[in-house]
Amino acid sequence: MTTAVAAGAQPLDTLDLAIGKALFKRPWVPAPASTRGDDGLGPLFDARSCITCHPRDGRAPAKIEDGTAGRGFVLIIARPDGSGDPVYGRRFQIDAVPGIPPEGIIGVSDTPLPDGRIARAPHLQALGYGPLDPASGLSLRVAPDLKGRGALAQVPDAAILAIETEQAAGKDGVSGRARRITRPDGTITIGRFGWKAAQPDLASQSAEAFFLDLGLSNPYHPEPWGDCTPTQAACRDAPHGTANRTEGTADDALEIGRPLLDRVVAYVASLPPPAPEPLPEPERRAGARLFASTGCAVCHRPALPMRDGGQAHMFTDLLLHDMGPGLGDTMPEPGAGVSQWRTAPLAGLSEALAADTGLLHDGRARTIHEAVGWHGGEAAEAARRFSALPAPDKAALVRYVSSL
């Protein structure tokens, strides 16, 4: 088996994928370390390894204990122009290397609503570096499932844009929008990864996670101090892994050089789409018909075409949709409003339900019914049709969706 991770990249074989898997599971340590290949963590970080937030390559546990977010949640910070907070940067990191204060604790306020749903909002506790800039907004998000993302990477931009054109008429209020990303060289590409489609490919998505969540420099983010801002002087002055790499090319000076990044990306790209739970064929067909007739399949498209002629069976259209104020956060960003979210792939939902991770971008929904109840904006008509189904049909549709 061979795979190429980017245009112009050398094909990677089964051994390379095994190396990528090992790197994905590796616990990184602060510099300096006796094993130089393992150091460079931080100085600020959310986790020590990729697998901490993606256990079994899946969705994070998203547990709340005593009003505090556990590992697997990330809190993104940004101002309306897309820049990070002048003190806390782009990520609120809950851990740090010895001698450096962490940025604080991610508090979570859950408010029960009369209909049984839970409204969820983050708040900051034990701030280590003073107040947040008043212009900075917050977005609490769960680390997503990674399985099948390689298939989504193979969906042509043209296919996504064709769906955007198809939905432009706004039938039933649905009119998704492709997120357009400007690359450093000025070219425009289509975003597809992340809760708001902020990244166009697995390499940029993985590089951002290495940088912001683990504090590891890489070809996309070469700053050795990670997300430490200029006001966090001690953080910037702390030892980092680049101090151990003083020879060779510029890439050799990075904590995650191109060869390591390519192998992690190849490993993630190799993960197949999650297999749905088996259902009796009549039950599966009935559920699929209800899924289509209620309008769920307009955005959660069962399959998208791939460049190799295959189909990505992931149940998404990869477009941004306005989901209404109930799902909005306080962080607008260039190219995506506070209540706009990329259609979440439903493939792997059965695993998320079995692991009790919670649903939606911040894990607030405990059941399919609750998740549908939060669907407003462009999804309001589909949610209304779901609510109006006779009880047997509703149960059949929930069973079908729960099996994905």
Query: Residue 103: is its pLDDT beyond 50?
Result: yes
Q: Are 105 and 126 in contact (CB under 8 A)?
A: yes
- Give percent above pLDDT 70 in the chain: 93
- Identify the band that residue 281 occupies on the pLDDT scale cut at 50, 70 and 90: very high
Supply the pLDDT for residue 288. 98
- Identify the band that residue 375 occupies on the pLDDT scale cut at 50, 70 and 90: very high
Of 1.10.3210, 1.20.120, 1.10.760, 1.10.3470, the CATH number of 149-181+272-402 is 1.10.760
Q: Map residue 85 onto helix, strand or coil.
A: strand
Supply the pLDDT for residue 250. 60
> What's the burial of 380, exposed, middle or buried (CB within 10 Å: 0-12/13-18/19+)?
middle
**Residue (of 264, 273, 228, 298) closest to 86 by Cα position:** 228
The C-alpha angle with vertex 313 and arms to 307 and 315, in degrees rounded to 5, equals 115
Supply the pLDDT for residue 253. 78
For residues 394 and 65, give the distance between their C-alpha atoms in angstroms, rounded to a whole number: 32
DSSP string, 367-391: SHHHHHHT--GGGHHHHHHHHHS-H
The C-alpha angle with vertex 234 and arms to 231 and 238, in degrees rounded to 5, equals 130
Could you tell me the residue ranges of all domains in the chain? 149-181+272-402
The mean predicted confidence, pLDDT, of the chain is: 93
Averaged pLDDT, 255-283: 95
Query: Residue 245: is its pLDDT beyond 60?
Result: no
pLDDT one-digit tens code per residue, 324-347 = 999 999 999 999 999 999 999 999
Q: Which amino acid is located at 264 in the chain?
A: V
Averaged pLDDT, 83-111: 96
Q: Are 205 and 193 in contact (CB under 8 A)?
A: yes
Q: Are 190 and 178 in contact (CB under 8 A)?
A: yes
- Identify the band that residue 6 occupies on the pLDDT scale cut at 50, 70 and 90: very low
For residues 131 and 118, give the distance between their C-alpha atoms in angstroms, rounded to a whole number: 28
Token readout for 79 is 């101002």
146: Cα separation from own chain's centroid: 9
Averaged pLDDT, 59-69: 92
Supply the pLDDT for residue 241. 75
Supply the pLDDT for residue 184. 84
Side by side, the strands of the sheet bearing 68-69 are 64-65, 68-69, 105-112, 118-125
> What radius of gyration do the chain's Cα atoms show?
21
Supply the pLDDT for residue 1. 43
